[in-house]
Amino acid sequence: MKLKIASFDFTCCEGCQLQLANGESTLTDFLELLDIRNFRELSSEQYNDYDIALIEGSISRQDEIERLQAIRQQAKTLVAFGTCACFGGVNSLKNKFPLNETLAEVYPEMPVETLLVRKISEVVKVDFSIPGCPVNKEEVERIMVCLATGSLVTLPKHPVCVECKARLNTCLFELGEICLGPITRAGCNAVCTTGKTPCLGCRGPSEEINMPAFVELIRERKLSLDDLQEKIAFYNAFGEFCSHEA
């Protein structure tokens, strides 16, 4: 029997769902494995019976909390899908400012219901997380196959630097940039750094992160510790490390 799967979006750009919809050469084979019950990027048909729920986006309204809880009750397995769902993502930058000031600046004289941004696991139990902004479609397809076949689901434990070196890229630290590749979980195939853009850590910390050593590297290179703090706070993916004494 095909795996019944549904995908739902909350506060997000829907870019992670589009990654799957844009699978092109692999999409047909991927869909052969799944019974899509609810996924508006792929089909207008919607059903409420599903085994796995992919949740994209963070939570920023009361109605989203209630909707997410209802999905959790239905789903046997709930997967946080993408950086916003896993960590709060770029949306979490709103939490740095008082809500009343944000509303007055962005939505003057307009009533808008909003809350502090939360990641999915702060609202309901998450069975598995797939980080990335956006997610890596090959990784998602691999994980879906594992779930469908009952195989062990894993994420890479090593940092992005390993993938970057494998692609023979010039280290961005050598170009005077702060790059979070040494402390960020791999799995993106070093797509940003290959394009000469420093890693901002959208996949969260690697398994054996050594933040003190990384901070020392920043000092040795005479780079800005303030810039470091800004970068590791960007996706809200490094939690306690954002307040690490630099």
User: Average pLDDT, stretch 9-13?
Assistant: 96
The two three-digit tokens of residue 207, written as one number: 């398994």
CA distance 214 to 212: 5
Per-residue pLDDT, 173: 96
Q: Enumerate the CATH 3.40.50.700 domain ranges in the chain, comma separated.
A: 3-149
Band of pLDDT at residue 242, cut at 50, 70 and 90: low
* pLDDT reported for residue 23: 62
Residue 68 pLDDT: 98
Q: How many helices (H) and strands (E) does the chain have?
A: 10, 5
184 contacts 205 by C-beta, under 8 angstroms: yes
Instruction: Please state the rounded mean pLDDT for residues 36-60.
Output: 92
The Cα 191–Cα 198 span in angstroms is: 10
**At 69, phi and psi to the nearest 5?**
-65, -35
Q: List the Cα angle 191/195/201 in 5-degree steps.
A: 50
Return the pLDDT at 67.
97
Rounding to the nearest 10 degrees, give the CA dihedral for residues 30, 20, 165, 169: 130
CATH code of 3-149, in short, is 3.40.50.700
Q: How far apart are CA 184 and CA 238, in angstroms?
A: 9
Which tens digits make up the pLDDT trace of 117-171? 999 999 999 999 999 999 998 898 888 888 888 888 899 999 999 999 999 999 9
pLDDT of residue 20: 82
Q: Higher pLDDT residue, 22 or 59?
A: 59
Query: CA 30, CA 240: separation in Å to the nearest integer?
Result: 37
Cβ count within 10 A of residue 131: 28
Q: Is the pLDDT of residue 235 over 60?
A: yes
| Helix, strand, coil percentages, rounded to 5, for the chain | 45, 15, 40
Q: How many CA atoms lie within 13 A of 227 on its CB side?
A: 12
Work out whether the CA dihedral 178, 240, 127, 89 comes out positive or negative. negative
Residue 32 has pLDDT above 60, yes or no: yes
Burial 182-208 (b: 16+ CB within 10 A, else e): bbbbbbbbbebbeeeebbbbbbbbbee
Q: What is the mean pLDDT of residues 167-194?
A: 96
Could you report the per-residue pLDDT of 77-126, keeping only the tens digit for each? 999 999 999 999 999 999 998 988 888 888 888 888 899 999 999 999 99
Gap between the Cα atoms of 89 and 66, Å rounded? 21
Average pLDDT taken over every residue of the chain: 91
Share of the chain above pLDDT 90, in %: 70
Where does the pLDDT of residue 246 fall: very low under 50, low under 70, confident under 90, or very high at 90 and above? Answer: very low
